[in-house]
Amino acid sequence: MVQDLALTTQAKINLILDVVNRRVDGYHEVEMIMQSIDLADELYFTKIEEGIILETDSTKIPTGPQNLVYKAANLLFNKYNLAGGIKVKISKTIPVAAGLAGGSTNAAATLIAINKLWELNLTVHELRSLGAELGADVPFCIKGGTVLATGIGTELEPLKVTPRLDLVLVNPPFSVSTAEIYQSLDLETAIKHPNLDEMIQALKEEKKLDIIFAMDNLLTHVTMNRYEELKKLENLILEQGAKKVLMSGSGPTMLGFTMNKAAAEKLEARLRAKLPKEYVVKRTKTTSQGIIIK
């Protein structure tokens, strides 16, 4: 039986994020196109005699029961009465609390790793159902790729084509409360919803420029009204050569899309020269897979 496992866990962005309804239970019904990008953390799993031990090179994430990796491990150990324990080393590259599903993709990797190490033989559907108990993004992260997500974000329909997109992400040195942004969203006054059909058609036809200009996020105006710095950042990214700027999730990470890798390299260099060192500026690209077993 395998005793250890290494996984690469890739981040997630939304090409489209629309909120269509606020349910009586407080959840929001959404329509999103979720997309994996190749910005990734590395997780190393080792079977131990007992307990759940987390180690990380980041000072920004907890190593106790608050961590989604810990919660994912605890969920499987309790549900299936597993013997022994697990140690997880988390090497962070994905910015924390950035709207990039870093915690969710690591939780998904934990479900996959324990499934393999303990030979549970859980299906993708079963892993996604377990993931939904941990967070709305975790089911997507089990497989990643390019996916239409509806309901509260856990009803997933994989799309056949993964767009080849180059982008530069800019993560400011402050966080945004997702709960606060959703609570502030007034669907009655939302003037223009993202055009999901337009995006799906552009993806089918594989027209890069149409895909870029179809990108939209209903939460943008809510977040930018509360954080004026993000509007200034959006303008800067456009001024430095991006074709389109998209906010990731509820923010604060901003994504500058370009037509090719060379343009993304130039944009990355220009933004690094213009922005304070506290800003994380990283060039990345879309990918068809969420988690890679090494």
The binding site consists of 95-105
Active-site residue 38, yes or no?
no
Q: Say whether 24 sits in a helix, a strand or coil.
A: coil
What phi and psi values does residue 227 have, to the nearest 5 degrees?
-130, 90
Q: Are the beta carbons of 115 and 121 closer than 8 angstroms?
A: yes
**Residues 110, 17: Cα–Cα separation, whole Å:** 26
Q: Say whether 5 sits in a helix, a strand or coil.
A: strand
Q: Would you list which residues are annotated within the binding site for ATP?
A: 95-105
Q: Say whether 109 sits in a helix, a strand or coil.
A: helix
**Residues 127, 108: Cα–Cα separation, whole Å:** 8
Q: Which residue in the list 18, 41, 137, 166 is annotated as catalytic? A: 137
Active-site residue 12, yes or no?
yes
**Residues 215, 244: Cα–Cα separation, whole Å:** 8
Contacts of residue 178, Cβ cutoff 8 Å, sequence gap at least 6? 99, 249, 250
**Residue 119 falls in which region: left (phi positive, over 0), alpha (psi -120 to 50) or beta:** left
**Residues 269, 191: Cα–Cα separation, whole Å:** 36
Q: Are the beta carbons of 250 and 182 closer than 8 angstroms?
A: yes
The C-alpha angle with vertex 165 and arms to 38 and 234, in degrees rounded to 5, equals: 95
Give catalytic residues, as residue numbers.
12, 137
